[in-house]
Amino acid sequence: MVAGFSFFAATPALADDDCTASNTVDASTGSAYEIQNLLDDSVDVVCLSGDFVLSGALQVSAPVTFKGVGTGATLDGNGTTRIIEAIRQEVTGLSLVNLNVVGGRDGAVYSNGAVTVLDTLFSGNRGDYGAAIEARGMIIASSSTFRGNTATETGGAIWGYGGATIDSSTFEDNSSDSGASAVDLSGSGSIVNSTFVGNRGPAAVDMSGGDVSLSTFLDNTTSVRTRSEAVFRGNIFASRSSSTAQIASAPDVQVGDQGGNVFSTTASSEVAMTAPAPSTLFGQSVADVFATGELADNGGRTQTVALNPLGPAIGAVVTGVPPVDQRGERRTLPADAGAYEYIETEPVPIPAADPVTPALAETGVDSTPFLATGAALFAAAGSLLLFGCRQTRRIAKGR
């Protein structure tokens, strides 16, 4: 059994001062030809600005980082070509930072080595295996979005031979015809603080063991299938339309429940969970778990699904959580299940329409202090009521 979880700290984005006139290509004055020249010169960093439409794949022959300057850059395969190809054994590392990678054909990015992506969008890419990324080495994806990518075989977004670490990333509306609709890993995987919504295929994630923690799975056919021993902690597995088991495993494969998981399905349907932890909940409706049940910009670099502040996911996880959620908001124990940590915000002050009430106006007495005190008491009562409801829920669940 896998002993625990590895919480990945994202590699810091390169500062724009890593970009100079000699290694920067601006789409308004340059093209893919200039990008390829830099790659042929084996520069460490290729900085890009603007939108580039490619007619052929960029060929990488040495480790390199592609970096979008400022608000980022777009590499567009226009539905006709692969976008980046690193087939030589010397390419031990390929990194993409602050980019939009769209419209790739035969898979957007292929590498014989490792691939790291940070703050990058992959959208509308197509391929047989790994429509967004196919890599023989380790894949690290942080603060990135994979949306609307399609594989005819497996790995609607990612197909990795060497395993993957996925952190603070969102996978939405990816699909595959016969395999994993979002992520297919021949090696083990570590998924934390990530969101998978509406991915269409036999399973959103298919991996050879590993760990999945503090992540949200919503409206996928099956959330995770594992071919080897895996552990789960503090996740939400929910669907509005499917009663299919959210966790599946190969025969005789152990699935470890480390607690704090929340399922919309029943315990009897989750046959892979042979020994559910006491703190894991089953049969919880999507309406009870989430505020709206929709992906939205709730802060941070990627979209998330906000929780119902009085729902069963609140305070469900009592140990082993990362310091922040997918958005970068601080987690506190007991933490909330899924990728989104509900933060109790300060109540909005109630403004006074008139600082002097009609009743006191004739006396000349300024009513502002009275109104301010009343508004403060009203706000405090509201906060105490919300806190009390949350605590009651936690106590009722034995937390």
Q: For 265-308, write each residue's pLDDT tens digit.
A: 999 999 999 899 999 999 999 999 999 999 999 999 999 999 99
Residues 120-157 pLDDT 10s: 999 999 999 999 999 999 999 999 999 999 999 999 99
Residue 152 belongs to some domain of the structure: yes
**Same domain, residue pair 132 and 280:** yes
* Number of domains the chain contains: 2
Among 293, 317, 333, the domain-final residue is 293
Q: Same structural domain for residues 244 and 385? A: no
Choosing from 275, 293, 311, the residue where a domain stops is: 293
As a 3-state breakdown, the chain gives helix, strand, coil percent values, each rounded to 5, of 10, 35, 50
Is residue 388 located within the same domain as residue 246?
A: no
Residues whose CB is less than 8 angstroms from the CB of residue 275 and which lie 6 or more positions away in sequence, other chains included: 257
In a domain, 165, yes or no: yes
Residues 281 and 153 placed together within one structural domain of the fold: yes
Whether residue 56 contacts residue 81, with contact meaning beta carbons closer than 8 Å, is answered with yes
Which tokens sit at 108? 């957007």
Mean pLDDT computed over every residue of the chain: 87
Average pLDDT over residues 350-355: 52
Residue 340 counted as domain residue: no
Are 199 and 288 in a shared domain? yes
Q: What is the DSSP string of 218-283?
A: ES-SSSEEESS-EEEES-EEE-SS--S-SEEE-TT--EEE-S--EESS-TTT-TT-SS--TT-B-S
- Any domain includes 247: yes
Residue 315, pLDDT score: 97
Average pLDDT over residues 41-65: 97
pLDDT digits (tens, 9 = 90+) for 260-272: 999 999 999 999 9
Same domain, 114 and 259: yes
**Token digits of residue 124:** 């509308």
What CATH number has the domain bearing residue 267? Answer: 2.160.20
End position of a domain, from candidates 243, 260, 293: 293
238 falls within a domain: yes
Measured distance CA(203)–CA(180) in Å, rounded: 5
pLDDT greater than 70 at residue 84: yes
The residue segments making up the domain with residue 240 are 16-293
pTM given for the model: 0.86
